[in-house]
Amino acid sequence: MNSVKVGLLGLGTVGGGTVNVLKRNAEEIARRAGRGIVIAHAAARDLNKPRICDTTGIRLSTDPNEVVNNSEIDIIIELIGGDTLAKDMVLKAIEQGKHVVTANKALIAKHGTEIFAKAQEKGVMVGFEAAVAGGIPIIKAIREGLAGNQIQWLAGIINGTGNFILTEMRDKGRDFDDVLKEAQALGYAEADPTFDVEGIDAAHKLTILASIAFGVPLQFDKTYTEGISTITREDVTYAEELGYRIKHLGVARRTDKGIELRVHPTLIPERRLIANVDGVMNAVLVMGDAVGPTLYYGAGAGAEPTASAVVGDVVDVVRALTSDPKNRVPHLAFQADALASDPILSMDDVETAYYLRMQALDKPGVMANVASILGAQQISIEAIIQKEPVDNSTFANIIMLTHKVQEKQMNQAIAEIESLETIDGQVKRIRMETLN
């Protein structure tokens, strides 16, 4: 049987890794797919740029349209990134009846609904395993392996840059800005690190995971996003003293009122496995009603880990080339006409526990006033630490852990506490999850 010919858009880190994996493991991949898979045509902005892969035997172009328009190509792999040119190329490929595999989380999170509708109309597949958590097959796990479960919630460390920064702050007592500079020097963070440290990258991925887990439309614009740039080494230290670790977590949870969809710094009990995922590694914890908790761990980025997911999708496409389009695994796990209309909750309506840190005047009665404000909002305190003033300051650090309460109640309490003359500056608030 003739080999399936693939067109590759983008020969950067992941593109080069994909070429290497497909060439190195060609025989094994053919045994799994039932046919050989070869990259016949690839596009890159600069054809003279040094590559991590051998492009011998691959036709090269600078125009991605030439690859998409190549009539010999059955599958397009999109690895150019962004959601403008990439979107145009993907829709054009689908319109021509070509299957698509992409590692582009922004493209799927923001335009997946349109792309999947067009793919269904044309009877083609869109694979996007590599768009979330690099080499971890989390999409396949939720979409297929856990198909017999009602997913109750999932929580993930799905951005390696943020996890590296928080790990270094905890292990070496370093400041955020210092570690960020190292992350940029090591290539973990971009020159503009906003997408990583402010949670936008993680929000793209969480949007996709939530849609697959709960059978709701992709709704990136409703995902609450908060970054880690305000986390201090003191917060990391105090969390440790209380038996917790701070992770930049993406959380999606089904509730009676709707779906929680949020990315923010989170205190996690240090005994949880996911709390011990360090450095640039990723992990996703999924709770199903039948299976219970399952944890998926691995490299969240990198040339060959991400290429592993890309090639896995290509193999799936090749296996299904001759199957009835109406009986393939749905893109978002649920049949397109069966997506639910559960609302995405506002953060005001989310219920969680909290870590609070404040600078309080070191004199009698101050804590009583703070406790009174919390009590009026029905917020109960689980633990409290008071640190002695330093450097002749008259203000002491007060750290509290609270029980669960609605965010809008906590917002009101914090506003009232900050208005007290005995409180200096803003109250630092970090949400907590026990992940039971």
Residues tagged active-site: 205
153 contacts 206 by C-beta, under 8 angstroms: no
Residue 241 one-letter amino acid: E
What are phi and psi for residue 352, nearest 5 degrees?
A: -155, 170
Q: SS3 of 410, please?
A: helix
* Residue carrying the six token digits 């309080």: 360
Residue 191 and residue 184 in contact, taking contact as beta carbons nearer than 8 Å:
yes
Beta bridge partners of 43: 9, 61
* Number of other CB atoms surrounding residue 49 within 10 Å: 9
Residues in the chain: 436
What is the enclosing helix (H) or strand (E) of 66? helix 64-68
Supply φ then ψ for residue 125, to 5 degrees.
Answer: -105, 150
Residue 396 contacts by C-beta under 8 Å, 6 or more apart in sequence?
359, 360, 361, 362, 386, 387, 388, 389
Spell out the long-range contacts of 414-418 with Cβ–Cβ below 8 A and sequence spacing 24 or more: 414/356, 416/373, 417/358, 417/370, 417/373, 417/374
Phi then psi dihedrals of residue 85, to 5 deg: -60, -40
30: Cα separation from own chain's centroid: 31
> Tokens 């990583």, residue?
196
User: Measuring CA to CA, which residue among 297, 315, 330 is closest to residue 137?
Assistant: 297
Pairing of strands 281-288, 395-402: unpaired
Cross-strand pairs, 245: 268
How many angstroms separate the CA atoms of 189 and 166, rounded?
13
